[in-house]
Chain A
Amino acid sequence: MDEKIRVVHYLNQFFAQIGGEEKADIGPGFKEGPMGPGRALQQTLGQQGEVVATCFCGDNYFAEHLEEATEELLGQMANFKPQLLIAGPAFESGRYGVACGAIGQAAQERLSIPAVAGMDAENAGTGVYRKKVYIVDSGSSVVRMAPVLQRMTALGLKLVQGMPLGRPEEEGYFPRGIKRNAFASKPPAERAVDMLLAKIRGEPFESEIATPQFHHIKPAAAVRDLSSAVIALVTDGGLVTEGNPERMEPGRPTRFTTIAVEGIDRLDSKEFDVVHSGYDTAFANQDPHRLVPLDVMRELEQQGVIGKLHESIHTTGGAHAAVENATRIGQGIAERLKSAGVTGVILTST
């Protein structure tokens, strides 16, 4: 490699040697070259990279001004044209850990550079950011600064060079909840027979897929009086306005969309589309009421069977949703409906 990789290092006020807790309120700062543990980082990088700048911020300041601090640090960081951000290690320090995670995520998203943080497993930042940023397990003791920086550097260099990463336990980072294919020594059929025989004999065996943990949700009480109820229509069948202007995903949804139906009695097939990767959408495209029964609901509204139909339909595409995203979409829709005074919902799926 001819050119050295340009690295920016993030530290809190303590490791930047500005001061302890009494200096935790200082705002973001920058300095060219390495500071404090950055010198060990530079040694680890050797000829492969150069710590072009160190950015730092007081722990309290960052915690209390998360957005402004991130904004300012990123703005200044961009001037140094970094190729990699190394954040921490923060060890057990929770505020420092969260700052490392936040600045790491922001650098990845906005500067499009990889970031590696270092934290203890119990650090609050680990729980919040381990799925978004590579976080090397630093343990709790500052004594391990040098080996932790070595792991962070090795990981960071691989990310910059686009080299494949090993599994979390090999590379020393916290699992991000991502699975990858790998070759096994025995084919699935053989493993399945082994597993079944162990189960029949009462011997220990381990399932290859863990049972997802679902939160149990207590259903809301039944609607007592339909004639005064405000009913909303919600679907995961992928109803969108013609041409899908919001580019709703047909599968693996990350968001929902809202269709205003105030004063509309029927869903005209010319004005609506159905996008969904999980079923044949031809029939719903032909007549959207097959998916969302607005026509019947309007009749019931006119007959006084229901009090009122909510003015918008919330829709998403439900195929292959990640549980996390589906939960977030559901909560988002529920919050909107609740604040709009909706008392009942009809969910139509496919």
Chain B
Amino acid sequence: MFSYSAFTYFAQNHPLIQELYKRHQRDLWFAGVVVTVAPVTIGEKQRNSHLAARLASEVLGADGVIATKIGGGAVDTDLMMIYERCEEMGVKAALIIMERYPDTGITFVPANVNALVTPGLTRDPIVLPPSNESSAVTLCFWIIPIPTTPIPGYLPCRPTASCGFGWATLSVPSARSELPG
């Protein structure tokens, strides 16, 4: 699984959808999924984020939304816009959004966005701890799909087990306290 994208299998077996199914009728009601795209121009981004938020709010009648994404830098904007439009419509929002370099993190965060979950940094290598056989199998499940050869035309970068979907059990501990003062 390359950091910036994912195979169809992973979209079909999205960990967030699985989590929501698991908790459906327990502590929440899983209303449905809004699938959208990340267009290129600002006008399209505005229209698209409105449409996505309205589908969640008016068609699904959601009280809350968790938005995730596939893709790199510019797509952060779409996610933030969806977050803002949802909140404007009275739908509480949270985002799962990957971070990148150890010293950069993400840079596009509007001041009112206050519920972000990080699935880890894509450009920080992960050192796997020594493990017994059973946990090694679990870890391999995440690691194997990483392409070992660079994708042609793509700059040399180090794929890690981190992914925008949040498959790996990764986090950036005390991100708040470790951010540049």
Contact = CB atoms under 8 A, between A and B. Distances in A.
B133 interface: no
Label chain A's interface by main secondary structure.
loop
User: Which residue, A169, A190, A321, has most C-beta atoms of chain B within 10 A?
Assistant: A190
Contacts of A183: 129, 169-171
A186 interface: yes
User: Which residue, A206, A211, A250, A321, has most C-beta atoms of chain B within 10 A?
Assistant: A211
A329 B95 CA distance: 31
A4 interface: no
Interface in B57-110: 63-66, 72-73, 92-97, 99-107, 109-110
Contacts, number: 173
Interface string A91-112: 0000000000000000000000
Label chain B's interface by main secondary structure.
loop
Given A193-B23, A278-B73, A211 B180 contact: no
A188 B117 contact: yes
A209 B94 contact: no
B181 interface: yes
Interface in B129-160: 129, 155, 160
Contacts of A321: 104, 107
A271 interface: no
A208 B96 CA distance: 10
Nearest to A190: B19
Interface residues of B, number: 65
Given A179-B99, A183-B169, A183-B170, A192 B117 contact: yes
A263 interface: no
B115 interface: yes
B102 A212 contact: no
A323 B100 CA distance: 13
Interface residues of A, number: 49
Contacts of B115: 195-196, 199, 205, 207
Given A188-B166, A197-B27, A200-B92, A252 B64 contact: no
Interface in A140-181: 164, 167-169, 175-181
Given A187-B167, A196-B65, A211-B113, 14 more contacts: A175-B178, A192-B19, A192-B166, A193-B66, A195-B117, A196-B93, A208-B116, A208-B118, A209-B109, A209-B175, A250-B155, A277-B155, A278-B72, A320-B104
24 contacts: A169-B177, A179-B103, A179-B124, A181-B121, A181-B170, A182-B170, A183-B129, A183-B170, A186-B169, A188-B170, A189-B15, A192-B96, A195-B94, A196-B65, A200-B64, A207-B115, A209-B105, A210-B175, A210-B176, A212-B107, A252-B104, A278-B73, A321-B104, A323-B104
Interface of A: 127, 131, 164, 167-169, 175-193, 195-197, 199-200, 205-212, 250-252, 277-278, 319-324
